[in-house]
Structure 1
Amino acid sequence: MELPDGVKVRGRGLGRPWPEGPAPDFGLYLGGAKLRRKHDHKLDWDHEWIRWPDFLLPADRAEARRQIVALHARAAAGEAVEVACYGGVGRTGTVISCLATLSGLSADEAVAWARANHHERSVEMPWQRRWVGWFARQA
């Protein structure tokens, strides 16, 4: 998908079938130890993990912000990047919303944009929505 600033990123679910297109140059993955054990060996490109339990927030919010900002920078530099959690909806949609704030949207606009362009249930939990607001205010 193309973010409002023209930067491209693929959002997906690790538990879903492989999407069309080539493998990414870099991936940012969201989940705990169990998800990492199940999928890390399949990711043969450069990648990082954010410890982020399902339906919750990242364990280290400041480090998560740093990694999301770095993901945006990689994509802006022309790397093919992706972000994924297990289902590709809540956590992935939250990161896509954060990326949209880096594209210049307000937190509320970014959540609406992610719901319109990624998945209608992006940012599933109220605290994830508040975290997008926190993320946007850190700039």
Structure 2
Amino acid sequence: MPTFAPYLLGHQPPLAWESQWLKWPDFWLHSDRTATAEALHEAWERAETERVEIACNGGFGRNGTALTCLAVLDGVPNGEAVTYIRERYSRWAVQMLY
């Protein structure tokens, strides 16, 4: 079981462990940029010594976007982060808005 989990959803999830709901409807942007940045930074810091879960409904768009942010925090160059996540997590990762 994770010790911390940011949930990237348009509706509040049932919470079974320490978590943070980030209101982020599918195919939209997150509703609070500051809260999202803080939660992802906390997840990145805690992942060094704890089990952290990041989740959305489908596991690709919002999840991939969050994983890309974490990759940048971990040192992957901005211009390479999406490709990095698509190669290592899923080729469908990262929600693209047109």
* Residue 79 (1) aligns with residue 50 (2): yes
Name the structure 2 match of 1:123. Answer: 94
**Displacement after TM superposition at 1:98 (Å):** 0.1
- Number of aligned residue pairs: give it: 98
Whether 1:63 and 2:41 are equivalent positions in the alignment is no
Give a deviation string over 1:44-74, Cα, whole Å, max 9, x none: 2111110001011110112111110011011
Higher gyration radius (CA): 1
TM-superposed CA distance for 1:107, in Å, is 2.0
Runs of 4+ in 1 over 6 A off after TM superposition: none
Identity of aligned residues (%): 40
What amino acid does structure 2 have at the position aligned with 1:87?
A: G
Deviations 1:68-108 (A, max 9, x none): 001101112x1100100000000000000000000111222
Who is 1:103 aligned against?
74
Q: What's the secondary structure of 1:64's corresponding residue?
A: helix
Larger strand proportion, structure 1 or 2?
1
TM-score (norm 1): 0.66
TM-score of the two chains, using structure 2 as the length reference: 0.92
Structure 1: give runs of 5+ residues left out of the alignment: 1-22, 128-139
**C-alpha distance in structure 2 between counterparts of 1:32 and 1:102, whole Å:** 25
Structure with more contact order per residue of length (Cα contacts < 8 Å, sep ≥ 6): 1
Is 1:27 aligned with 2:5?
A: yes
Structure 1, 85-94 or 99-108: larger mean CA deviation: 99-108
Structure with higher helix content: 1
Residue 48 of structure 1 corresponds to which residue in structure 2?
A: 20
RMSD: 1.3
Amino acid at match of 1:98: C
